[in-house]
């Protein structure tokens, strides 16, 4: 019994880690980004995301896996949803939500069409420089 339990734990540890919840970000990021405080805002958000091992979503080093992959079914090839993409997408959207919640209304207007955290971070950087 103990060996099956330890195998389950080992198996779980080797699988992709579940998305990190970012609910605490509201308490840690106290400055909403405006056009005048980018460096102060960045000094809060970057260490937080690095500490959560999530900054790779923003800098592009953790890019999206393919959304699906082909599999042979009888004589036909079917596309199967990729669970790694689903986990990546969920985490990315949590990061994007955390970023959006740390923006003032003026900056938010420039980011509203961004669909990934990486695109959101690029838009934030560009609009805060002007």
pLDDT at 17: 60
Q: Mean pLDDT over residues 10-25, rounded? A: 55
Nearest to 52 by CA among 5, 1, 103, 95: 95
pLDDT range class, residue 45, cuts 50, 70, 90: very high
pLDDT at 12: 34
pLDDT at 72: 84
110-118 long-range Cβ contacts below 8 angstroms, 24+ apart:
116/64, 116/92, 117/57, 117/58, 117/92, 117/93, 118/57, 118/58, 118/59, 118/60, 118/92
Tell which wins on pLDDT, 17 or 91. 91
The DSSP bridge partners found for residue 71 are 78
Q: Mean pLDDT over residues 84-99, rounded? A: 95
């Amino acid at each position: 019994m103990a060996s099956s339990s330890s195998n389950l734990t080992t198996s779980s540890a080797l699988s992709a880690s579940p998305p990190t919840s970012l609910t605490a970000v509201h308490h840690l990021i106290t400055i909403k980004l405006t056009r005048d405080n980018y460096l102060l805002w960045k000094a809060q958000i970057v260490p937080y995301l690095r500490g959560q091992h999530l900054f790779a979503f923003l800098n592009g080093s953790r890019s999206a896996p393919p959304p699906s992959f082909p599999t042979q079914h009888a004589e036909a090839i079917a596309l199967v949803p990729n669970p790694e993409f689903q986990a990546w997408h969920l985490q990315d959207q949590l990061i994007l939500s955390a970023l959006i919640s740390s923006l003032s209304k003026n900056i938010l207007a420039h980011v509203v069409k961004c669909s990934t955290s990486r695109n959101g971070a690029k838009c934030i950087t560009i609009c805060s420089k002007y």
